[in-house]
Amino acid sequence: MLKKRVLVTGGAGFIGSHLCERLLKEGNEVICVDNFYTGTKENIKHLLSNPYFEILRHDITFPLYVEVDEIYNLACPASPVHYQFDPVQTVKTCVHGAINMLGLAKRLKVKILQASTSEVYGDPEVHPQSESYWGNVNPIGLRACYDEGKRCAETLFFAYHRQHNLKIKVARIFNTYGPRMHLNDGRVVSNFIVQALKGEDITVYGDGSQTRSFCYIEDLIDGIIKLMNSDDSITGPLNLGNPDEWTILELAEKVLKLTKSKSKIVFKPLPEDDPKQRRPDIEKAKKILNWQPKIDIDYGLKETIAYFKKILNL
Ligand code: NAD
Ligand code: UDP
Ligand code: UDP
């Protein structure tokens, strides 16, 4: 089989490292581009001995000239703590980064997939969220650098598609979890597991009645690859996520049970503009890609707990 040379931006991050691994396993050559802003070499060190894996330290807000057959654009900090740390850089990564990667795809005439997000729906007034919903985003709030950055990236993808006939794929990814999440990135699954394993208080923000729907990394990777390999007429945007919805308090209780931890649940202030509810409507992905998540939350959490136990030396 002829190998494809695939570019993965953000390849040293949580989702990117799993994607690089899967693409190599499927017989492709992979170029991983990352500036290590939130990603680490640790995430990809097991791939470094593979002659078909190549890593480039590069910030996608600057032009990039390489020759590839396909592009997955994942580079962008994803946790609220990380993307709010340097909001200007977050906007640049979303917008200038997208322009550069689209320019690259245009020159090479290759397919490009954008890792968009459920955050484009903001604090949704429609539940569950389907692709036809335009969202409810505060353009000047603390989350805007990410939410509006990602919305503008979608705009750019569709502008290049209409104006330059570029083959695009836009995935709206909902909360995803699993091994290689950053230990301190502040996201709820990693926070709760690390707190439970260390016997620290479990920090529930607000009263814990807000909801999220959690997709295990393996399921998400299946969906992303299926979307990339779908017919050229399919541009998305397509929701990719697990429709099982949980309150944050339920998640805290689940983590306590699975880790057999004696940690206490404590309540902290709710961050600004924190969405109250989130659940993907995945009917489109089911129909178009024949994809739906298979992994249940107990199995996924156990795998993630085992990962954090290992890296915490417990
Ligand atoms: P992550 O922070 O683990 O990975 C992001 C990677 O991008 C890191 O390796 C980081 O170093 C790199 N990066 C950041 N800015 C860069 C730049 N300017 N140039 C080059 N590399 C850069 O996050 P993740 O969870 O793996 O998310 C990956 C993508 O998926 C992001 O685009 C994110 O918005 C999207 N997404 C993730 C989730 C989720 O639940 N994890 C949900 C929706 C969307
Ligand atoms: N670009 C890149 N690699 C390429 C081709 C383009 O990084 O192989 C960048 C370049 O910085 C450019 C951007 O992508 O500014 C947008 O490219 P496009 O062709 O759309 O616009 P133009 O070159 O006309 O500004
Ligand atoms: N959250 C929480 N405690 C934490 C971290 C997060 O209660 O230690 C809440 C947060 O307020 C939000 C939900 O969990 O309602 C998901 O947060 P996360 O940062 O993982 O993702 P996002 O808000 O982007 O969906």
Residue 94 has which token pair?
Answer: 């979303």
Q: Is 172 among the domain residues? A: yes
146 as an active site residue: the answer is: yes
pLDDT recorded at residue 265: 98
- Look up the CATH number of the domain holding residue 288: 3.40.50.720
Q: Count of domains in the chain?
A: 1
Residue among 30, 27, 62, 304 at smallest CA distance from 182? 304
Query: Could you tell me if the CB of 107 is within 6 A of ligand 2?
Result: yes
Q: Is 251 among the domain residues? A: no
Question: Is residue 242 helix, strand or coil?
Answer: coil
Burial of 234 from C-beta contacts in 10 A (0-12 / 13-18 / 19+): middle
Ligand 2 site-directed mutation target among 66, 68, 106, 162, most atoms within 8 Å of CB:
106
Average pLDDT over residues 250-277: 96
Place of tokens 């002659």: 51
Average pLDDT over residues 287-302: 98
Average per-residue pLDDT for the chain = 97
| Active-site residue, from 83, 121, 146, 177 | 146
pLDDT recorded at residue 215: 98
Percentage with pLDDT > 90 across the chain: 97
Alpha carbon of 63 to ligand 2 centroid (Å): 7
For 193-211, what is each residue's pLDDT tens digit? 999 999 999 999 999 999 9
pLDDT recorded at residue 117: 98
pLDDT recorded at residue 3: 86
For 218-241, what is each residue's pLDDT tens digit? 999 999 999 999 999 999 999 999
Range of the domain at 107: 5-177+216-242+281-293
The residue whose CA is least distant from atom 1 of ligand 3 is: 188
Residue among 188, 216, 177, 199 at smallest CA distance from 314? 199
The reported pTM is: 0.98
β-strands 245-247, 211-213 pairing:
antiparallel
Q: Is 276 among the domain residues? A: no
Q: Is 141 among the domain residues? A: yes
For 177-196, what is each residue's pLDDT tens digit? 999 999 988 999 999 999 99
Question: Is residue 27 helix, strand or coil?
Answer: coil
Kindly provide the b/e burial profile for residues 4-43, where b requires at least 16 CB atoms within 10 angstroms of the residue's own CB. ebbbbbbbbbbbbbbbbbbbbeeebbbbbbbbebbbbeeb
The set of protein residues with a Cβ atom below 6 angstroms from ligand 1 is 9-10, 12-16, 33-39, 59-61, 74-78, 93, 97, 115, 117, 173, 175-176, 182
Q: Is 301 among the domain residues? A: no
Q: Is 20 among the domain residues? A: yes
Query: In angstroms, rounded to a whole number, what is the distance separating the alpha carbons of residues 14 and 218?
Result: 12
Q: Is 56 among the domain residues? A: yes
C-beta separation of 39 from 244 below 8 A:
no
Q: Is 236 among the domain residues? A: yes
Whether residue 16 is predicted with pLDDT greater than 90 in this model: the reply is: yes
HSE-CB at 302 with a 13 A cutoff on CA atoms is 6
Query: In angstroms, rounded to a whole number, what is the distance separating the alpha carbons of residues 237 and 252?
Result: 31
C-beta separation of 80 from 271 below 8 A:
yes
Q: What is the DSSP letter of 172?
A: E
Query: In angstroms, rounded to a whole number, what is the distance separating the alpha carbons of residues 262 and 147?
Result: 36
C-beta separation of 64 from 48 below 8 A:
no
pLDDT band at 34 (very low <50, low <70, confident <90, very high): very high
